[in-house]
Structure 1
């Protein structure tokens, strides 16, 4: 009779110890879920960076191949104009009713 109670107490305490470790210990379920969310976030960041790298590679390829891309960039980013061209700046009126 006493042996059954002792075995029961040992088994219950062992179960409690394992449950504690499962939920609160090192490598627990909440830690696993947090790491899984971090992995998903990193995968999304990697996908965004891969897309950006592809766009940059295409831009570099355009710059290496054609002068049109260089000219377009110079016009848009630096405001350069060709010789013989006239530059017009259109300023919107303050009274835009």
Structure 2
């Protein structure tokens, strides 16, 4: 009877070892599931960023408002006949250029 018990324990251990510690083990599945969750979170942030960039490209293609806004903010352009006022910091520091 002891002999049979020992053989069964060795057999069960031999069969269970790959399931828990082998190449396709449960531990590896749990690690891959965690990596999958992290990658999905990264993908969601990239999808949101791409949507914002796509909307900006659409605005630039469709109308002049977005182009005018970028010209004013990034290049410092003004329309003909407009008066540009620059307010300086009383401490003598100039405002940061964009």
Higher RCO, 1 or 2 (CA under 8 Å, sep at least 6)?
2
Q: TM-score, normalised by structure 2?
A: 0.77
Inter-partner Cα distance in structure 1 for 2:4 and 2:85: 93
State the superposition RMSD in angstroms.
2.0
Among candidates 9, 12, 35, match of residue 32 of structure 2: 35
1:68 deviates by 1.0
Aligned residues: 92
Q: Could you tell me which runs of 5 or more consecutive residues in structure 1 were left unpaired when the two chains were aligned.
A: none
Runs of 4+ aligned structure 1 residues displaced above 4 Å come to: none
Among candidates 7, 10, 17, match of residue 10 of structure 1: 7
Inter-partner Cα distance in structure 1 for 2:11 and 2:83: 87
**1:29-73 deviations in Å (ceiling 9; x for gaps):** 221111001111111122111112221121111111110111011
Q: TM-score, normalised by structure 1?
A: 0.78
